[in-house]
Structure 1
Amino acid sequence: MEEPLPIRILIHGASGRMGRALLRLVAERPELQLVAAVSRSGQPLAEAPAGVPVLPVEKLADAPDFDLAIDFSLPEGFGPLVAACRAKGAGLVSGTTGLSEAQLAAMDEASELVPVLWSANFSVGVAVLRALVHQAAAALPGWDADIVESHHVHKKDAPSGTALSLGQAVEQGRGSPPHYASLRCGDIVGEHLVQLTGAGERLELVHRASNRDIFARGALEAAVRLSGRGPGRYDFGELLLAGGRP
């Protein structure tokens, strides 16, 4: 039986923290073949494997053919990437947060043509946390609900995308949204506390990330799971539960 062809990957936002981690860790996945990286400057990156072109964002259209893009960039670069994925019939795995309503709508439109997976957090633990939060909120609809998230001082959006996704799980469980609090301090990778408080008792569900590599490895896993699927919007947790590639 012939081995399946490797999945050709383009990394968008390659000069950022997540992009550099992806460049380092992609070699751990033999199913994936990195064919190009895109960064704001287009300058060579030490983490990029030898022979892999690093393109400036203005040259995205010149990228070699790819099967799937992994995107951790800024909102201003999101539109051209979605257009490139549509033009090449390539899937999209994105963790870019702070997207506008128009950008979210463009992602929905693209999903009619290509497979799309957007997640605010690619930690396997957070995917499980969302399920637990939904269950707890449904069981305790009358309790107060609060989400406190902490990140490094350079993170711009607040509340974080992960906090908002956990808030959606709360609202889906009990019918009303939680309150949010955001902290930006030091070099915290990411911490999320979901607190449900009743009379005389409190339930806390917490996830702490101590290493950014967990998110990069999760995004690479998502790319493998998304490859070969038809057009549509996909959920990271559901792909994890579904098993391997189709």
Structure 2
Amino acid sequence: MIKIAVTGASGRMGQTIIEAINQNECVELGVAFDKGDDLNDALDKFDVLIDFTRPAATLKYLEICERSGKKMVIGTTGFNDDELQVLTEASQQIPIVFAPNMSVGVNLSLKLLELASRVIGNESDIEIVEAHHRHKVDAPSGTALKMGEVVANALGRDLSKCAVYGREGIEKPRDRETIGFSTIRGGDVVGEHTVSFFMEGERVEITHKASSRMTFANGAVRASRWLQGKSAGMYSMQDVLELS
């Protein structure tokens, strides 16, 4: 039986992950952690740690897992480039599944976006709109950025150079080479993402809407099971779902 540790256990996502673990016959909850608890005190109680907290906390847990040889599933978003480099370096020592969104549907959408981009991307104005609850602190969402990255890579573009995060003050026609992002925050929206390909006379839209955090939690548990027997490396949900 795979034993899982969960961080941020009192939060909305942490509680949902614990529920998903309890509903899965192939795993069990080894230990649940919250802010202030010391992971070092329970290293013998889990095989893999699931973390959906904040970058600073994730890096703290990462250091302990790397030192003790524990696997990790990371759904935290909002990392800067230096923090991402720390994750990459740690993955040389332990197996990590790192994804901005663990949803099966979102990861299928990423595959569809890659195909759509190759077929119609160069003839389209591409816009990404995402909506989340009022408590989400990073914007655009990690999922929206990942969608933009998939589109840009398929088109041979550099997202850091072609992304537009706001059009206020831009007094010129839209550049087709750009990829636009729009962010909505309000209420209790779990997560909605739409990528639109605007062409002359028609429009293609790929949309994913999450109505429950359980979709992310189930994906994280699935990733935890998939990691068993894997060697050190950085893996994605595309790997877990055999979509890569």
Question: TM-score when scaled to structure 2?
Answer: 0.87
The one of 91, 109, 128 equivalent to 2:89 is 109
Of the two structures, which has the highest relative contact order with CA contacts closer than 8 Å and spacing of 6 or more?
A: 2
Q: Among all aligned residue pairs of Structure 1 and Structure 2, give the percentage whose two residues are the same amino acid.
A: 38
Amino acid in the other structure paired with 1:187 = D
Runs of 4+, deviation exceeding 4 Å = none
One of 61, 83, 89 as aligned partner of 2:69: 89
* CA contact 1:36–1:64 (8 Å) conserved in 2: no
For these two proteins, the number of residue pairs brought into alignment is 221
Matched, 1:148 2:149: no
* Amino acid of the structure 2 residue aligned with 1:70: I
Q: State the distance in 2 between where 1:143 and 1:175 align.
A: 14
5+ residue gaps, structure 2: 160-178
Task: Report the 3-state secondary structure (helix = DSSP H, G, I; strand = E; otherwise coil) of the residue aligned with 2:10.
Answer: coil
Distance 1:110 1:31 in 2: 27
SS where residue 242 of structure 2 aligns? Answer: helix
**Partner residue of 2:166?**
none
Q: What displacement does 1:96 show?
A: 0.4
**CA RMSD between the two structures:** 1.3
Once the two structures are TM-superposed, the CA of residue 84 in structure 1 deviates from its matched residue by 1.0
Counterparts of 1:223 and 1:85, CA distance in 2: 14
TM-score (norm 1): 0.86
Of 30, 38, 41, 1:35 maps to: 30
What residue in structure 1 maps to residue 58 of structure 2? 78
How many Å separate the matches in 1 of 2:214 and 2:184?
22
State the match for 2:233 in structure 1.
Answer: 232
Question: Quick one: which of 30, 34, 42 aligns to 1:63?
Answer: 42
SS of equivalent residue, structure 1 residue 162: helix
Deviation at 1:33, TM superposition (A): 2.3
Aligned partner (choices 5, 15, 37) of residue 10 of structure 2: 15
